[in-house]
Structure 1
Amino acid sequence: MPPKLIPESNVPLSASSSRRLRAIFYLRVSTKSQVRTDYDPEGISIPAQRVACGAKAETLNADMVGEYVEPGASAHKNLERREAFRDMIARIERDRDVDIVIVYQLSRFARDRYEDAAFTLRLRNLGVVLVSATENIDETPAGELLHGMLAVINQYQSAASGKDISYKMRQKAANGGTPGLAPIGYLNVRIRSEGRNIADVILDDDRWRLVQWAFEQFATGAWTVDSLTEELNHRGLTNRAAGKRPERPLHSSHVHKILTNRYYVGVVTFDGVEYPNGRHPTFVAERTFIRVQGLLKSRATAGDKPQKHFHPLKGSLFCGYCGSKFGITNATGRHGGTYPYFYCLGRKPGKCRQPYVMIDVVEQLVADWWRRVEITSRQKARIRDIVLDGAQSLVTNGSEQADRQKRRIGELEDERRSCMRAYYNGAIGEELLKEEQQRIDRDLGKARHAPRLRKRMAVDRRGSRPTVESVRGQPRPLHHCPGTRETPTQPSGFQTLLDHRQGNPRGGPVPAAGPTPR
């Protein structure tokens, strides 16, 4: 049965007229930014709604028995997905201790007329009436008419506002602007220009060089998304802090998203449409980006996983029979020994009968092939400059990163002391203290890794010059240059040598069962 109503206010009347009504306040703002507009952590809108709902409760002779706050939940979305709303409905169904739900306006409850009708009926079946602090949506015929009209108007305003915002954001993208949050490596800022407050995007000095390094390193073919993610975390690249969430380590999905984001080469994407005239600064070369996409695509289809069995020749050898790439596998002998082999990836679908070939045999075949290669003086000079510039870039980036991590170490030590003060003052419990201490210890370990990495890069830079000079004098694979097989610059140097070799090496004679360098 529907609840009995007080004629003057059209809210439920308890069996005992002396008992005050029990009310729940439901307070909501649409976006997180609306709670960041005042010194009060709740902003301005939430406290203002609370005051209005409290005044309405007084006029209805009601006591507040609960409050549910939704700081940043869009009204047009499924109401069941709103955490505070879901908790409120569950509490009403479980405890049956509520007579009325008070909202500031009906639009704070829902902006979809179907959701509004469904949950208003659900509350009514529980003996609860929805009340607006600023609108007379009672259960009289006139009140129900107003309720229905407001529900339709709220839905129209939500849809129209969304369409208007989408149009303006599309226009911003078409003009080269960035609609929304820029990716890692950039910062959204507001600048004052000629009296106007303009949203702009600038480089994030703490992150953009690491993102640039990630693209350049992945383009060498020596990394996969997982191994690159691990190295970036060691070097201190994190997700940006957001709201109450601190900086967090990257996951491989984050790095994959970075590597496939055309924003880094000046392309702004909105609603599936790409606009190539982005106004934001870029730091990734188009050629590097294209190579990264090719590597990601080839590994997705061919199952190439260099982090499992890395070798400088991997990705540069093709089968002399069918033209497929060569992969690497470790075979276990009958007595337990492990033997590395190159094998044709065309064997898996059964289209090639190329036998497995020992790695040292392949290396010798490739070395013999390179002995017949002539490299011009111009190519030699270009290769030398590229490799040495790349090594110098590693040292420079390592130095900047080391300086950043020194600052980060100081910040983390300050956080540790703040946590201890909060614990001694009773502001946080022991469990939260342990979690924060563990997080700080992990971040400190990563930050302290940077100086060691800087020293390693400096040694690599000094060792790269004789390596390159030996290649200039005798164009053999870098993995055959004395003392360089394990140096970090070797894979990229060898790839540089291949990239600057004119002609198609696959056209030359090769052993029938052997691989072909490319």
Structure 2
Amino acid sequence: MKRAAVYARVSTDGQRDNYSIPTQVASCHEFAKQKGYAVIGDRYVDSITGFDSVAGNGNVLAYVDNYTSRELSRPSLDQAISYLEQTGYDVLIVYTLDRLARDPYIRRTLELEFEQHGAAVEYVQGDYDQSPEGEVRKDLEATFAKWENAKRVERSMRGAKAKAERGLFVSGQPPYGYKINRDVPGGLEVDENQAQIVRRIFSLFVEDRLSIRGITELLSDEGVKTFHGRTNWAKSTVARILGNSTYAGRWYYNRRRGRGLGRPVQYKEREKWIEVEVTPIVEEHIFDMAQERLKKNKQRRRRNPKRFYLLSGMVICELCKRPYGSQTQKAGKHKRKNDAPAYRHRVKDGHCKNRMVSARLLEPLVWYEILTLLVEPENLKRGYSNALDQQKAAFERHRTLHQTLSKGLEKLERTRQNLTKIYIDPDIGLSKAEYLEQKQNIDAEIKQTKEKLMGLEAELDQVPIPGALESLDVFMEEIMSLFEDGYELTPKIKRKLFEFLHVEVFLGEDDDIRIEGWFETRSTRLLSTTSGHCDPRRPTLPWPASRVPGP
């Protein structure tokens, strides 16, 4: 008597909920019974549901994958091969050709791998003998199965596109904060309990200036439940929520290209996206401010930093407006006694020139300038008021320009429609070449106008939020109380203070330094020695000199 193993497959997790796996497994076991094979293995599934289980309670032996057939390596299939190498069996039973693989090349590759380990592959549907004719039949049926699957995918995508064009959400799982309801705009209904969490995440990120890590830790500590009911939030989950335009009322279909496992996301051309309007959860300007901060974080982020830098991502070149990187030259090299942290500009990284500035020179200067603001809190209020006025003026200019561009876009689109009407009118006699040339020019103007509009929309509503200033006042009081109690601020608290103040340090030529943020711009010069603590311009502080906090 021969020994056999059973293999079944569906493409996705969702398909495990239907009856495909139980029927595949049952048919394979019946096939083994008819052939007189003894089914063995080390994996069990529930004979009713098809879900993975353990021995006993009527469960049956089978290796089951919910994986695409395009992958040669699949968890349960790999386990079946491992069991074949360690224990051995004579036959692998599969329901149909396409359950092993739709692609003839992948199927034949897997069959050969099993044959090399001493096991033949037999199919319940299709009596394929071990002959050239049998192999030809398998190749023909596998090719047809591949073609049929391609047509099925094409029909599915065509139906999904049509659904999106009707203004309905097209996907399996709705975003966190929504539930599927075809009777509401866009097909997504707001789940108010989850929506409150979404609004809080945006508020923590935009108004309270918490990092994504900080938000993740806060939600996890408070036991807030994720979409799947867990209380352990991941940074990637929070980042996806902050970057998802659905929460601002815009969900897009046909935005991403297909990609393999481990490959980065690639987006299609903007004109191929299909926009679906849904009920927003957060206000447009809050979402835009979150995107602006995410963009700045991405520009300034240094991959895998091993050390803490007080001004990491905040030091910017006055000429090329690109941030300085941070690095440390270790002790022992070039007879250096101590580690030398610094901020660096490099031509090979796309910067305008090569330059290195010692952190021990720069950080004390910036820190003492910020201490001056603590001594004179009115500077903060004046700076915030000026920033607010400037932002409002810029907002009005952008809004006026946006209205002008929007009207121009409408005019261009009408011109394109009229051109098409002229082209199809036989009495006018516009040639195809003339039509295509004029249409191409109009399309180029439309594309350029849309790009300008998108740029303006990203800048609109970027007005500082008064609530953030209130949080800053509270934070300042806490810092002042720490000073009065003789507490020395840690570098991380200083860093948090800089982030609250939106500090940006611009390094110019001739060692000029300009410090900007939510305060009046301050200027100083880089010292040529490490005597930053002895700068005669440092502020008179309201605590004893012996307790002046260092950088």
Scaled by the length of structure 1, the TM-score of the pair is 0.56
The equivalent of 1:264 in structure 2 is 247
Query: In structure 1, what is the Cα distance between the partners aligned to 2:186 and 2:126?
Result: 36
Q: Tell me which amino acid in the other structure corresponds to 2:230.
A: E
Aligned partners of 2:124, 2:521: CA distance in 1, in Å?
A: 87
Return the alpha-carbon distance in structure 2 between the equivalents of residues 102 and 324 of structure 1. Answer: 61
Determine if the alignment matches structure 1 residue 232 to structure 2 residue 219: yes
Contact 1:178 1:200 in 2 (8 A): yes
Contact 2:104–2:143 under 8 Å retained in 1: yes
Cα separation, 2, equivalents of 1:358 and 1:121: 68
Once residues 144 and 347 of structure 1 are traced to their aligned partners in structure 2, the CA distance between those partners, rounded to angstroms, is 63
What count of residue pairs does the alignment treat as equivalent?
363
Asked if the contact 1:239–1:248 (Cα under 8 Å) also holds between the matched residues in 2, the reply is yes
- String of CA shifts for 1:70-115, please: whole Å, max 9, x gaps: 252222x2132x111111122223323x222222211112111101
Opposite residue 254 of structure 1, the aligned amino acid is T
Matching residue of 2:297: 299
Residue 295 of structure 1: how far off its partner (Å): 1.6
The letter of the residue matching 1:79 is L
Deviation at 1:122, TM superposition (A): 2.7
Per the alignment, residue 26 of structure 1 pairs with 7
Cα–Cα, structure 1 residues 317 and 222, in superposed 2: closer, same or farther, change >3 Å? farther
Give the conservation status (yes or no) of the 8 Å contact 2:384–2:519.
Answer: no
Which residue in 2 is equivalent to 1:223? 210
Task: Give the Cα separation in 1 of the matches to 2:384 and 2:148.
Answer: 72
3-state SS of the aligned residue for 1:155? Answer: helix
The equivalent of 2:27 in structure 1 is 52
Q: Is contact 2:5-2:93 (8 Å) kept?
A: yes
Q: Deviation digits for residues 196-243 of structure 1, max 9, x if unmatched?
A: xx99433233322111111122113621111121112233334322xx
Amino acid at match of 1:148: D
- Partners of 1:300 and 1:374 lie apart in 2 by 25
**Structure 2 unaligned spans of 5+:** 42-60, 257-266, 326-341, 347-353, 393-465, 482-496, 503-515, 527-536, 538-551
For residues 182 and 283 of structure 2, the distance between their equivalents in structure 1, rounded to whole angstroms, comes to 27
Unaligned runs of at least 5 residues, structure 1: 1-19, 38-43, 328-343, 383-463, 472-476, 496-503
In structure 1, the residue matched to 2:95 is 104
**Alignment CA distance shift 1:363-1:34 (3 Å):** same
Note the C-alpha offset of 1:364: 3.7
Q: Which amino acid is the alignment partner of residue 357 of structure 1?
A: L
How many Å separate the matches in 2 of 1:510 and 1:120? Answer: 73
Alignment CA distance shift 1:156-1:248 (3 Å):
farther
Q: Does 1:357 pair with 2:365?
A: yes
Answer yes or no: is the 8 Å Cα contact 1:219–1:292 preserved in 2: yes
**How far, CA to CA, are the matches of 2:477 and 2:118 in structure 1?**
86
After superposition, residues 48-447 of structure 1 pair within 5 angstroms as 48-66=23-41, 67-75=61-69, 77-80=70-73, 82-96=74-88, 98-182=89-173, 184-189=175-180, 200-220=187-207, 222-241=209-228, 247-265=230-248, 266-270=250-254, 271=256, 272-273=267-268, 275=273, 277-303=275-301, 350=355, 356-357=364-365, 359=367, 362-365=370-373, 367=377, 369=379
Secondary structure at 1:267 match in 2: strand
Which residue does 1:438 correspond to in 2?
A: none
AA partner of residue 268 (structure 1)? Y
CA 322–228 in structure 1, closer or farther in 2 if over 3 Å, else same: same
Read off the aligned partner of 2:296 and give its amino acid letter: S
Equivalent pair of 1:221/1:295 in contact (CA under 8 Å): no
CA distance in 2 between counterparts of 1:369 and 1:323 reads: 26
Give the partner amino acid of 1:298: K
Give the 3-state SS of the residue equivalent to 2:168 in structure 1.
coil
Letter in 2 for 1:159: A
